[in-house]
Chains A and B, each alone.
Chain A
């Protein structure tokens, strides 16, 4: 069954198609939610609510753009809502990384880190850093969009991104050292 057929069947409310669509997208979308939320239970809750919202909104989907991208946006919004409930975002926007803590050795793209390692590194970030980094670096949002989405200024968004990167570089290096020792 093609994606279009599957979407059409889901729009008709067929349970089997809904199950199939869920199985096709749930894993990817759970990773998206895990990038924003520390605890897997919270990520699964966001996934659950996101799918419920997606199935409700599916009749309004006009097939413009990537369907996976459409679902991903729903999941990101739902994860952010869940994040606000679980981890108050504003408390994490304080300066966390001092200049002396920043990495001196840059991480490279060929660094061999597993996805779970990367998710763990993201989970260790303060919520504000993690959110801005996710939205900017991985989702492709601009600072203006991020500022509107999170209710912060563009300058704060840039600052959070810079500090998040610096912290991640340091931790990636540290993680690589650990991996090499093992």
Chain B
């Protein structure tokens, strides 16, 4: 067959031939035409409406803590709602304070422990008639204490009676100086009557004798001054009840020689200077008295001090006691309880410092 014949064959066979299309084809074409020809704004509006309707009324519940945060951080920030943020700092500060206080207490006790007898009864007095008696040295006090403990007991037991008598107006000039062991700082108990004349002279004599006998003359003679010149019937004495209760040979009518007594080491108050309160009418210009005392109460009258206050039954070493106190306070801090500096260091809760200067009584109570 010639090539020209082949061309004619296909041309004649296919020319005018019709292939019917699938009916679905038109539907697809129509969809495509509509989609292509639709304005884009309609689609956008539908999409916007989809999100707007779906989210307009939708509420997402917030977390429970969100309101508390809003309150704490923005609405009422000063309100201390949670203490957890500051308590570690407070704990650290408390521990540091306790350590410092404990160290100070240890130093104090250590310094006090170097002194013999650890109890000091000293008085700084200036007198016109009897001269000036310097402050007692610890060695003197110690020696006196050791040698005159019996006298101290006698004075302690006898002095209250004298003191009471004198308070009642008995014309008896007595001076009783006693270092009470229970207070750990010797307290000089003095009973003075407002006697003049021979009584005063006798009192001076008796106290001088007592002082010479007890090797403590400077105190006795010094104390004679207010007795001889005083006109007031006021008499005050501080006597430890523990001493007063102690059986011992009482010397009735004894002139109550000064007798500092020591009962074991009392390192805590060894540096304390304890002098009995002075009579109000004593020649104040001649005597300067300083008293450091536990507690904030006024000087105890006769046998007013409680023995348990001054008792010291703890035989543990000082270091262990202080360490125990520190640990107790740390436990208090952890539990949120009250912290006591006095308990931590073994120091008294209150210290009262009282000074009589020129007729004026200055008193100061320090709370630890």
- B69 A108 Cβ-Cβ under 8 A: no
Query: Known contacts being A27-B59, A30-B60, A115-B58, is A47 close to B66, with CB within 8 Å?
Result: yes
In whole angstroms, what is the CA distance A131 to B185 when docked?
84
Q: CB-CB contacts of A45-56 with B at 8 A, as 1s and 0s?
A: 001100110010
- Any chain A CB within 8 A of the CB of B198? no
- A108 B54 Cβ-Cβ under 8 A: no
- B50 A138 Cβ-Cβ under 8 A: no
- B66 A26 Cβ-Cβ under 8 A: yes
Residues in chain A near residue B52, CB distance under 8 A: 137-138
Residues in chain B near residue A55, CB distance under 8 A: 74-75
- Any chain B CB within 8 A of the CB of A106? yes
- Any chain A CB within 8 A of the CB of B76? yes
Query: Known contacts being A27-B60, A30-B60, is A109 close to B50, with CB within 8 Å?
Result: yes
Query: Known contacts being A106-B46, A109-B49, is A31 close to B58, with CB within 8 Å?
Result: yes
Residues in chain A near residue B57, CB distance under 8 A: 28
- A15 B47 Cβ-Cβ under 8 A: no
- Any chain B CB within 8 A of the CB of A18? yes
- B43 A169 Cβ-Cβ under 8 A: yes
Q: CB-CB contacts of A31-62 with B at 8 A, as 1s and 0s?
A: 10011000010011001100110010000000
Secondary structure class of chain B's binding surface, majority of residues: helix
- B54 A118 Cβ-Cβ under 8 A: yes
Residues in chain A near residue B76, CB distance under 8 A: 15
- A104 B35 Cβ-Cβ under 8 A: yes
- B55 A119 Cβ-Cβ under 8 A: yes
Instruction: Name the residue on B nearest A48 (C-beta).
Output: B70
Which residue among A19, A44, A108, A109 has the maximum number of chain B CB atoms within 10 Å of its CB? A109
- A26 B43 Cβ-Cβ under 8 A: no
Residues in chain A near residue B53, CB distance under 8 A: 109
Residues in chain B near residue A74, CB distance under 8 A: none
Name the contact of B55 in the complex, choosing from A35, A44, A51 (C-beta under 8 A).
A35
- Any chain A CB within 8 A of the CB of B312? no
- Any chain B CB within 8 A of the CB of A81? no
- Shortest Cβ distance from residue A172 to the other chain B in the assembled complex, whole angstroms: 7
Residues in chain B near residue A104, CB distance under 8 A: 35
- Any chain B CB within 8 A of the CB of A152? no
- A118 B55 Cβ-Cβ under 8 A: yes
Residues in chain A near residue B48, CB distance under 8 A: 137-138
Instruction: Name the residue on A nearest B67 (C-beta).
Output: A22
- B54 A113 Cβ-Cβ under 8 A: yes
Instruction: Name the residue on A nearest B76 (C-beta).
Output: A15
- Any chain A CB within 8 A of the CB of B80? no
- B50 A113 Cβ-Cβ under 8 A: yes
Name the contact of B54 in the complex, choosing from A15, A43, A52, A115 (C-beta under 8 A).
A115
- A30 B62 Cβ-Cβ under 8 A: yes
Which residue among B51, B54, B55, B71 has the maximum number of chain A CB atoms within 10 Å of its CB? B51
Query: Known contacts being A52-B70, A165-B44, is A122 close to B60, with CB within 8 Å?
Result: no
Residues in chain B near residue A48, CB distance under 8 A: 66, 69-70, 73-74
- Shortest Cβ distance from residue B250 to the other chain A in the assembled complex, whole angstroms: 75
- A30 B67 Cβ-Cβ under 8 A: no
Residues in chain B near residue A172, CB distance under 8 A: 47, 50
In whole angstroms, what is the CA distance A55 to B48 when docked?
32
- Any chain A CB within 8 A of the CB of B336? no
- Shortest Cβ distance from residue B78 to the other chain A in the assembled complex, whole angstroms: 14
- Any chain A CB within 8 A of the CB of B63? yes
Which residue among A15, A114, A138 has the maximum number of chain B CB atoms within 10 Å of its CB? A138
Residues in chain B near residue A28, CB distance under 8 A: 57-59
Q: CB-CB contacts of A104-128 with B at 8 A, as 1s and 0s?
A: 1011110101110011001000000
- Any chain A CB within 8 A of the CB of B61? yes
- Any chain B CB within 8 A of the CB of A83? no
Residues in chain B near residue A7, CB distance under 8 A: none
- Any chain B CB within 8 A of the CB of A76? no
Which residue among A26, A35, A55, A119 has the maximum number of chain B CB atoms within 10 Å of its CB? A26
- B55 A107 Cβ-Cβ under 8 A: no
In whole angstroms, what is the CA distance A119 to B55 when docked?
8
- Shortest Cβ distance from residue B50 to the other chain A in the assembled complex, whole angstroms: 5
- Any chain B CB within 8 A of the CB of A168? yes
- A22 B70 Cβ-Cβ under 8 A: yes
In whole angstroms, what is the CA distance A152 to B348 when docked?
76
Excluding A109-B49, A115-B54, A165-B47, 6 further A-B contacts by CB distance (< 8 Å) are A26-B67, A31-B60, A48-B69, A107-B43, A107-B46, A109-B46
A-B contact pairs, 24 of them (CB 8 A): A15-B76, A18-B75, A26-B61, A26-B62, A26-B67, A27-B60, A30-B62, A31-B58, A34-B60, A43-B60, A44-B66, A47-B62, A55-B74, A106-B35, A106-B47, A107-B43, A107-B50, A109-B50, A115-B55, A122-B51, A133-B51, A165-B43, A169-B47, A172-B47
Interface residues of A (CB under 8 A from B): 15, 18-19, 22, 26-28, 30-31, 34-35, 40, 43-44, 47-48, 51-52, 55, 104, 106-109, 111, 113-115, 118-119, 122, 133, 137-138, 165, 168-169, 172
The 5 closest A-B pairs by CB, nearest first: A27-B59, A52-B74, A137-B48, A115-B58, A30-B60
